[in-house]
């Protein structure tokens, strides 16, 4: 069974600065997908970024980028130029190919200080 671990229950960052959230996972699969979701106080889960394991290039979406280290089974999220609206719970998630469930980490609560 796959497991996803987020070792940072809480993180804080100053507005306009950069923060990195960590995620490690365990799987015996060679092909899979990784995601970062954010859950603001409204509780609506919002997809931030997605990474296919077969792609060596790290995914980037505007101010959000990942550092995907397949051998180390590590998948960190970097948020650049942090904004107050980035404050939320961030979840790392794993999915096998061909659909299937998302396995989530425990989450990291990000606070952005003005």
Partner 1 sequence: EAGVTQSPTHLIKTRGQQATLRCSPISGHTSVYWYQQALGLGLQFLLWYDEGEERNRGNFPPRFSGRQFPNYSSELNVNALELEDSALYLCASSLRPGQGVTYEQYFGPGTRLTVT
Summarize as ranges the residues that interact with partner 1 (CB under 8 A): 31, 33, 35, 37, 42-47, 50, 91, 95-107
Whichever of 82 and 91 has its CB closer to partner 1, that residue is 91
CB of 99 to partner 1, least distance (A): 3
Is 77 in contact with 19 (CB distance < 8 Å)?
no
Closest CA to 94 of 37, 9, 32, 21: 32
Whichever of 46 and 84 has its CB closer to partner 1, that residue is 46
Whichever of 52 and 74 has its CB closer to partner 1, that residue is 52
CA distance 38 to 21: 12
CB of 50 to partner 1, least distance (A): 6
Is 34 in contact with 55 (CB distance < 8 Å)?
no
């Amino acid at each position: 069974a796959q497991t996803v671990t987020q070792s940072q229950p809480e993180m804080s960052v100053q507005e306009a600065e950069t923060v990195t959230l960590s995620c490690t996972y365990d799987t015996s699969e060679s092909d899979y997908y990784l995601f970062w979701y954010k859950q603001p106080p409204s509780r609506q889960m919002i997809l931030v970024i997605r990474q296919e394991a077969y792609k060596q290039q790290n995914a980037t979406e505007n101010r959000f980028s990942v550092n995907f280290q397949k051998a180390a089974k590590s998948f960190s999220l970097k948020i650049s130029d942090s904004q107050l609206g980035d404050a939320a719970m961030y979840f790392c998630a794993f999915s096998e190919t061909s659909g299937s469930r998302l396995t989530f980490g425990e989450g990291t609560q990000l606070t952005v200080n003005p």
